[in-house]
Amino acid sequence: MTYDPATLGQFTITATDGAARRGSLVTAHGVVQTPIFMPVGTQGSVKALAPDDLDAAGAQIILGNTYHLYLRPGDDLLARKGGLHRFASWNKPILTDSGGFQVFSLKDIRKLSEDGVEFRSHHDGSKHFFSPEKVMSIQNNIGSDIMMVLDECVAYGADYDYTAKSLELTTRWARRCRQAHPRHKNGQLLFGINQGGFFKDLRERSLAQLAEIDFDGFAIGGLSVGESIPEMYDMLHHIAPLMPRDTPRYLMGVGTPLDILEGISAGVDMFDCVLPTRNARNGTLYTSQGKVNIRRAEYREDDSPLDPLCPCYACRTFSKAYLRHLYVAQELLSYRLNSLHNITFFLTLARQAREAIEQGRFAALKAHYQDVFAPAKD
């Protein structure tokens, strides 16, 4: 990879519309245009899609996961293969989550200490230990363009005292991550992760502590963990505007089309979610006319395309009737076509948001989709 160290990590805001920002982020594998949606490729592949599918859909950057890739195929193997970009033949940017969330999702099979977290593999129950230094070394071996610090994502409903103690630990871990991986070593950017649960003063404390550390961007962690939409939006609108203006803001694990538009309206620049690929596999498809459950009998003889406004191969080539047949018959092609469509929809939404901010009509775009995805009026 060839990049100019002088511009690496540069985040430029080229337009704003209210709190929404149109920007670009320079990474070692290319410039990322924001707001951006990042398809999730947990184990080094966006499920059912190949790199040329992702290129066709307009993907600029994909996600990988430290926890999963460390366990399988192993970060040492990835290092020997020249890193994940070469191994997966994906030559655009990659962001890796640190594993913090995954390990903390494995509730009862982990032990937390000052030095890090001990956990058991969900594959074979073998014991492992993640320290801040270890997850930096793993992400260095993976070779991701954007690394995330090791953090504790406190469970929804955690009390004030636990959350306050936890954010202090997350800050100490963030400092250790920064020390373990010097600024832009190996062409890699490093983001801090804001915690503090659903307590606004703790969120501000976490942010103030992280802002003193030299990060290339800041993520909002600890949301989309089972809270209600109003709770998520309330915290989102509180903390996003307080985050540093001149570095990217990344809302982890979010979300539905409306959540993403809400996040953009609050000033967030980057998003990732398993929803488009996961829901593709259960037949829930996102279209310009709203959600379509392709398995419904009403589509059995429907010759129309899934989404007449969608440029993807599935919508240009097949009818709803055929897509429904593939799903009902459990054909593997169903996964591929539904995933291709949903990923194209989410990436198109992000592109429309970028254009709307440039033209000062983001509020209208958001209102349009609120109509399109309004809960069915029974």
Ligand X SMILES: CO[C@@H]1O[C@H](CNc2nc3cc4c(=O)[nH]c(N)nc4cc3[nH]2)[C@H]2OC(C)(C)O[C@@H]12
Stretch that binds Zn ion, among 15-23, 218-226, 302-310, 356-364 (CB under 5 A): 302-310
Contact 19, 267 (CB under 8 A): yes
* Paired residues of 270 in beta bridges: 36, 250
* Paired residues of 40 in beta bridges: 63
Examine residue 236 and tell whether it contacts ligand X (CB under 6 A): no
Closest C-alpha to 252, from 243, 244, 260:
260
Examine residue 224 and tell whether it contacts ligand X (CB under 6 A): yes
Examine residue 225 and tell whether it contacts ligand X (CB under 6 A): yes
Q: Using DSSP bridges, classify how beta strands 270-273 and 36-39 pair: parallel, antiparallel or unpaired.
A: parallel
| Alpha-carbon span 290 to 342, nearest angstrom | 12
Annotation marks residue 201 as catalytic: no
CB of 174 to ligand X, least distance (A): 11
Annotation marks residue 97 as catalytic: yes
CB of 232 or CB of 310, closer to ligand X: 232
CB of 309 to ligand X, least distance (A): 27
| Alpha-carbon span 23 to 353, nearest angstrom | 11
Examine residue 105 and tell whether it contacts ligand X (CB under 6 A): yes
CB of 227 or CB of 302, closer to ligand X: 227
| Alpha-carbon span 315 to 231, nearest angstrom | 36
Catalytic residue among 17, 97, 145, 269: 97
Count, residues near ligand X per rule CB under 6 A: 16
Residue choice 8, 315, 353, 357 for contact with Zn ion (CB under 5 A): 315
Examine residue 97 and tell whether it contacts ligand X (CB under 6 A): yes
Question: First CA to last CA across the chain, in angstroms?
Answer: 54
Structure tokens that stand for 165 in this block: 């103690």
Examine residue 269 and tell whether it contacts ligand X (CB under 6 A): no
Q: Which string of b and e fits 348-369 if b means at least 16 CB within 10 Å?
A: bbbbbbbebbeeeebeebbeeb
CB of 272 to ligand X, least distance (A): 8
Examine residue 153 and tell whether it contacts ligand X (CB under 6 A): yes
Closest C-alpha to 35, from 9, 15, 64:
15
CB of 362 to Zn ion, least distance (A): 23
Structure tokens that stand for 197 in this block: 């649960």
CB of 34 to Zn ion, least distance (A): 23
CB of 13 or CB of 274, closer to ligand X: 274
* Paired residues of 293 in beta bridges: 284
CB of 348 to Zn ion, least distance (A): 9
| Contact pattern from residue 273 through residue 312 relative to ligand X, giving x for each residue in contact according to CB under 6 A and a dash for the rest | -x--------------------------------------
Contact 234, 205 (CB under 8 A): no
CB of 17 or CB of 151, closer to ligand X: 151
Task: List all residues 6 or more positions away from 9 whose beta carbon is below 8 Å from its beta carbon.
Answer: 25, 26, 27, 184, 189, 216
Examine residue 267 and tell whether it contacts ligand X (CB under 6 A): no
Q: Which residues bind to Zn ion, rule: CB under 5 A?
A: 307, 310, 312, 314-315, 341
| Catalytic positions, written as ranges | 97, 272
